[in-house]
Structure 1
Amino acid sequence: MTDAPFRPFDTQLDEGAALTILRAATAGADDGELFLERRRSEALVLDDGRVKTASYDASEGFGLRAVRGEVAGYAHTTTISETALKRAAETARLAVGDGGGTLADAPKGTNARLYTDADPMADATFAVKIDLLREIDAFTRALDPRIIQVSATISASYQEVEILRPEGLRLSDIRPMARINISVIVEQNGRRESGGMGGGGRHGLAPLMQPAHWQAVAREALRIALVNLEAVPAPAGTMDVVLGPGWPGILLHEAIGHGLEGDFNRKQTSAFAGLLGQRIAAPGVTVLDDGTLPDRRGSISVDDEGTPSARNVLIDDGILVGYMQDRQNARLMGVAPTGNGRRESFAHIPMPRMTNTYMMGGNDDPAGILASLKDGIYAVGFGGGQVDITNGKFVFSCTEAYRVQNGNIGAPVKGATLIGDGATALKHIRATGNDMALDPGIGNCGKAGQWVPVGVGQPTLLIGGLTVGGSAA
């Protein structure tokens, strides 16, 4: 990953000069790096039979960071030149002051390649992509006469990263991303409902453009819309809830995952702070954050500080065994970084972030789990949610859910929300299915104004005593 000459994005920035400036900026610092990025992306949207959006964006720049203790100086610019680098170094240097720190050991680097370095946007011409969107529109509309609107999106991006560290280590990564989404609106007897499905990952557009893929996506979007068309008002009250496999892991991501990020725990603002080695979940619950899964949306060969991505166990059989760490928080907590230092772009400072966060499967039969549910909700799709990191309290809206009574799946319900807190929910997991699945590649995570792609996953779960907010008492 470091064999190519240091000529970031065809600029005239010389590696020797850049290294000299970086070393001056980080003299007496604990850590620091020069992060260079070039990103290109496109999005094509066909909505209601018309091309609504056809966008192409390109950006490049660098960010220079110097870290001392809990303070970080950061400067960034879209101009990649020696002059700009010197000005950035002067700004970042302000955080170091008179220095006195000892530069932290460099990451080891890696030659692992978790995804292709081919540009997904080059898999098809603009005209071919537009023709595909029209084909998707026609195919989807023909599936059911109740469909009144179809929206289809093809998007792709290509990110090139170079990281230069003060000791001379240089790392690079090329990160592709591709995605296709389809949503529909159906109408029956004056009632309208919607459904959507999509996915992708760190690979080319070509596999997503195959009819076998996008036709299945279209059928699933329609299925969800038709389910919602028959939905009745959701009940309200405290009841047991079964979560389906895959995408419902977004609840795990938000309600638990953020609380296991290193910065919140170092600052003692997480509900899980100070609990390492203690039981925080029911026996059998094992949760991982794994950025090494090939081609997955949340995977990264190296993080945005140069640390190789890793398979990190966070909860082992119910016991809290680790947090997700970037370099700064790991150093301040006296532990090793875990490859979770991520940033949205060169204009953002890195922080501990999730990659692919999921719960391992258990031994229970999913059908048996549902059969054991006497009176509750079976939730298989989720939309937006809100979480308070300090206490883990969450509120999530269900996009597809069903009433279950005496083990029988009944009518779909509309307007259901799940309310609880992560720490309690973990301990109230009563059954863990043997059907662990990852999401289809649709996750984005926001933190402190930064967005990064992520993955989630889980098996079928039975959680006791969640509060269900609905529209019927």
Structure 2
Amino acid sequence: MSDFFNNSDISQQQAEQVVSETLNNCDDGELFLENSKSESLVLDDGKIKNTSFDSSLGFGFRAVQDDKTAFCHSNIISKKSLNDASQNLVSNMNNGSNKVQKQSNPKRTNVKLYEDKDPIENKPFKEKVELLKKIDDYVRQKNPNIKQVTASFFGEHQSVEIIKSDNQVYKDQRPLVRFNVSVMMERNGKKETGSYGTGGRMDYENYLGSDNWKTICDEAIRQAEVNLDSKPAPAGEMKVVLGPGWPGIILHEAIGHGLEGDFNRKKTSAFHNLVGQKIAHENVTVVDDGTIASRRGSLTIDDEGTPTSRNILIENGILKNFMQDRMNAKLMKVEPTGNGRRESFEYAPMPRMTNTFMINGNHTQDEMIKSVDKGIFAVSFGGGQVDITNGKFVFSCTEAYEINNGKIGAPLKGVTLIGNGPDILTKVSMVGNDMKLDPGIGTCGKAGQWVPVGVGQPSILVDQITVGGTSI
């Protein structure tokens, strides 16, 4: 029996009846029930600067017919709220087609990708505060030039149930945590920062037990030290070696969004008519995989009840597939891929990435560096922007180095990479054998909705890309 109706004047059986009656003349739809809670703790300069706790409970009710969607949501689960939502959906669907093409319900999976743990409840608040203070002490003792330390925890637990029209119910319990450390360092009047974090669908203890947090602190310190030694970046067209792991954010933004089903069905993506065609170097294979255990972007089922999958998007340079939710998959006459996602019950689902990455090639990073006479080695990235209609992007590097005569040189400050996704894919001439996923910190925005995601790649060599810098 569902916990969502324990304190309601409507039973689960009655709710299932409302869903079936509402969606009787629709192609698809669902009642999405969510109970979630989240917390954050931020320590700044040895003191707890901010703590917060939020909880939400509610439903999103959706009806789908052809390419038309009607959607209602409420933070009250009651007989009246469900019946009111039902009436609204029915009245909106009455103007649609009378021809119903029912979609079959998602196949069930017994594979759970994360444990049913509540990270907020499993570690007492006092212990989290004490550990944050311990982190502050540790970082300050590592380097006398450190002037500011900020450390934070974020925890979330989300319970969802999805009721389909024939009383099929899909359930998931989703933990999520993130830990981040930022430092500001000053030397000879110059100030620089470094930041590093980790996260995933686990308990806090999986990341912070046995002093694992020290690795995160050490990396934030190292980045700040590197930035203190940086010099102004050059500008112009040049070769760029992108490091493994987090630099896959470029792949996510500049290419990944263009491979989501809705943009391609509507023909607003630069890739919409290129399935089966070569769009990248033959060494490039890109997948979206929501089935990797405990990863930040993974889901046992998506927000429509479809099991997530390993979806090959680009194989040996050939565009193979798009990422699909149920509605866009039906309209494009393909199978859903488990990419129907929503930020919360207040939103309808849409095609979204899970963990998107490029798989290994055959080259080493050393081979790439040695092949570059003059260029950039980009290790980590901050913010970026992309235009989905043409794939044009701008990304800023938080850690980068010059390459001179096949050797890594001085660290650089103010590096930005400018290009477009379809073009950059054709200019990847070497793909490394050192693929890494990001440490578990990605969050993706689309149409006002934010969801956790993962990115990754091996080292790659891009033969030509525009580098924006501060010197010529």
Does the TM-score normalized on the shorter chain lie above 0.5?
Answer: yes
Alignment of 1:32-431 (within 5 A): 32-97=29-94, 99-431=98-430
Using the TM superposition, name which of 365-374 and 11-20 deviates more.
11-20
Distance 1:212 1:6, change over 3 A: closer
Task: Summarize deviations over 1:318-375 as a string: whole Å, max 9, x none.
Answer: 0000000000100110111000000000001100000000000101011111111111
> What is the distance in 2 between the residues matched to 1:93 and 1:375?
63
> What is the distance in 2 between the residues matched to 1:441 and 1:269?
30
Using the TM superposition, name which of 93-102 and 47-56 deviates more.
93-102
* 1:121 partner SS: helix
Distance 1:102 1:129, change over 3 A: same
Task: Summarize deviations over 1:241-281 as a string: whole Å, max 9, x none.
Answer: 00000000000000000000000000000010111100011
> What is the distance in 2 between the residues matched to 1:43 and 1:10?
28
| Among 13, 19, 33, the residue aligned to 1:22 | 19
Aligned to 1:11: 7
The letter of the residue matching 1:225 is: A
The letter of the residue matching 1:391 is: N
The letter of the residue matching 1:50 is: K
Using the TM superposition, name which of 130-139 and 10-19 deviates more.
10-19
The letter of the residue matching 2:216 is: V
**Misfit runs of 4+, over 4 Å:** none
- Structure 1 gaps of 5+ residues are none
Using the TM superposition, name which of 308-317 and 207-216 deviates more.
207-216
> What is the distance in 1 between the residues matched to 2:444 and 2:300?
19
Task: Summarize deviations over 1:11-45 as a string: whole Å, max 9, x none.
Answer: 33322211221122222211100000000111111
Aligned to 1:455: 454
Query: Number of residue pairs matched?
Result: 469
Using the TM superposition, name which of 116-125 and 349-358 deviates more.
116-125
Task: Summarize deviations over 1:284-328 as a string: whole Å, max 9, x none.
Answer: 210000000000000000000000010100001100000000001
The letter of the residue matching 1:276 is: V
The letter of the residue matching 1:360 is: I
The CA RMSD measured in Å over matched residues stands at 1.0
Task: Summarize deviations over 1:128-160 as a string: whole Å, max 9, x none.
Answer: 111100000000010000000000001111000
Say if 1:9 and 1:38, in contact at 8 Å, map to a contact too: no
> What is the distance in 2 between the residues matched to 1:7 and 1:178?
24
Aligned-residue sequence identity (percent) comes to: 53
> What is the distance in 2 between the residues matched to 1:165 and 1:313?
28
* 1:158 partner SS: strand
The letter of the residue matching 2:432 is: G
Distance 1:423 1:245, change over 3 A: same
Distance 1:109 1:95, change over 3 A: farther
Say if 2:5 and 2:11, in contact at 8 Å, map to a contact too: no
How far 1:211 sits from its partner (Å)? 4.7
Distance 1:405 1:94, change over 3 A: farther
Say if 2:61 and 2:71, in contact at 8 Å, map to a contact too: yes
Say if 1:239 and 1:375, in contact at 8 Å, map to a contact too: yes
Task: Summarize deviations over 1:43-78 as a string: whole Å, max 9, x none.
Answer: 111001110111111111000000111110000000
> What is the distance in 2 between the residues matched to 1:95 and 1:284?
48
The letter of the residue matching 2:44 is: D
The letter of the residue matching 1:435 is: D
> What is the distance in 2 between the residues matched to 1:192 and 1:92?
56
* 1:112 partner SS: coil
> What is the distance in 1 between the residues matched to 2:120 and 2:355?
24
> What is the distance in 1 between the residues matched to 2:56 and 2:343?
13
How far 1:9 sits from its partner (Å)? 5.9
Say if 2:5 and 2:12, in contact at 8 Å, map to a contact too: no
Using the size of structure 2 for normalisation, the TM-score is 0.98
The letter of the residue matching 2:322 is: Y
> What is the distance in 1 between the residues matched to 2:342 and 2:463?
36
The letter of the residue matching 1:300 is: L
The letter of the residue matching 2:29 is: G
